[in-house]
Amino acid sequence: MGGKVAMEIACTWPDLIDKLIIADIGTKFYPPHHQSILEGLLSIDFSLKPSRIEVDDLLSLYVKDYGTRQFLLKSLYWKEPGQLDFRFNVKYLVNNIDEIGKELSDENIFKKEVLFLRGDKSNYILDEDVNVIKRHFPKMILNTIDNAGHWLHAENPKDFYIEVSDFLN
């Protein structure tokens, strides 16, 4: 979702952006596909003041992958002493799920350098997507992070850091 937002901002206000890095998302339409994650996030009743461990236990009923749960749990914070919450608005995401995966509109073009990173175990950016991405981002570079799925920065932070650093330098 962050990548789609970054693409929209870069295309709408290109003067604000020197370079852009997009992590494992393309410009195409993505149908809703994280329903179990969203259902799990919605199942957490923070009024019961669960601990981090209890939140993880509840989430594990919906999200089996430990790494994915840990990624989601990074968004927990202490809203006030003894009261956890998520930094994101789960209900808003659920109510606007069709907007999240929207295709980038044809007039959106960004003519500066863009690094697209994809995980070798991910299916978010396929080889057949590259030509469409290039129409929007003619100076795009596509690199693949080994041993990573969609959340490449969490699954292979070392290689992700190297790619990002090399691009920015």
Each residue's pLDDT tens digit, 65-99: 887 888 899 999 999 999 999 998 888 888 887 77
**Please, what are the domains in the chain?**
2-29+103-168 (3.40.50.1820), 35-95 (no CATH)
For 4-58, the pLDDT digits (tens) are: 999 999 999 999 999 999 999 999 988 777 788 889 999 999 999 999 999 999 9
Give percent above pLDDT 90 in the chain.
71
Q: How many CB atoms lie within 10 A of CB 56?
A: 17
125 CB-near residues (< 8 Å, 6+ apart): 24, 25, 26, 116, 118, 133, 142
Query: Quick one: pLDDT at residue 1?
Result: 62
- Partners of residue 78 on adjacent β-strands: 84
Backbone phi, psi, residue 145, to 5°: -95, 120
d(CA 86, CA 82): 14
Q: Measure CA of the first residue to CA of the last residue in the chain; give whole Å.
A: 26
pTM, full prediction: 0.78
User: CA angle at residue 90 from 85 to 96, to 5 degrees?
Assistant: 160
- Does 139 have pLDDT greater than 90? yes
Compute the chain's Rg from CA coordinates: 18
Contact 34, 140 (CB under 8 A): no
Query: Quick one: pLDDT at residue 98?
Result: 78
Query: Quick one: pLDDT at residue 93?
Result: 83
Strands (E) across 24-111 are located at 76-80, 83-86
